[in-house]
């Protein structure tokens, strides 16, 4: 091989050296470029995965904080509703009769009763059978009947 290179003149040797150097530089450039591209793609996937994870965690925490299980006791439901609507409702009474749950409360007006009863029905996650509203001059009384 050494004898083969000795047969070339100086100009040809320089051209071979430059060509091989350019090929090595091009190969290194493509290798670095491919590595950087893969790194950027992986970084974007990591950011998306973190974002998805944070979204799921926030929704799970929100659901955990705002919902109450169907197997909850009357005391837990009473505490949950009382904490969720502290100023809006008064005279909260929760009774369980024959596997049904009755929630009764007073509000300032009928419109507020409707909004709160919708929210309670959604938060409890139970099947709502019947709603009873009664309105007088001072306040509105609401009874919710759940399965």
List 59's β-bridge partners, or say none: none
- Kindly report whether the global pTM for this prediction surpasses the value 0.75: no
Element (H, E) at 113: helix 110-124
Element (H, E) at 105: strand 100-107
Q: Token pair of 99, please?
A: 């596997």
The DSSP secondary-structure symbol of 101 reads: E
Domain boundaries, given as residue ranges, for the chain: 2-66, 74-146
- Which tens digit of pLDDT belongs to each residue from 21-35? 999 999 999 999 999
Give me the residue label for tokens 């491919």: 34
| Residues 74-146, CATH architecture | 2-Layer Sandwich (3.30)
DSSP-based three-state secondary structure for 73 = coil
- Which tens digit of pLDDT belongs to each residue from 134-146? 888 888 889 999 8
Q: Are 129 and 117 in contact (CB under 8 A)?
A: no
């Amino acid at each position: 091989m050494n004898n083969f290179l000795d047969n070339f003149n100086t100009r040809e040797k320089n051209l071979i050296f430059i060509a091989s150097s350019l090929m090595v530089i091009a190969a290194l450039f493509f290798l670095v470029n491919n590595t950087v591209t893969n790194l950027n793609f992986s970084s974007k996937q990591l950011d998306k995965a973190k974002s998805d994870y944070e979204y799921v965690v926030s929704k799970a925490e929100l659901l955990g904080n705002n919902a109450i299980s169907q197997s909850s006791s009357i005391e837990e439901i009473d505490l949950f509703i009382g904490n969720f609507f502290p100023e809006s409702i008064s005279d909260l009474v929760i009774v369980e009769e024959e596997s049904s749950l009755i929630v009764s409360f007073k509000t300032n007006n009928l419109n507020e009763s409707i909004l709160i009863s919708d929210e309670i029905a959604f938060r409890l996650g139970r099947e709502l059978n019947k709603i009873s509203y009664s309105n007088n001059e001072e306040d509105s009384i609401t009874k919710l009947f759940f399965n």
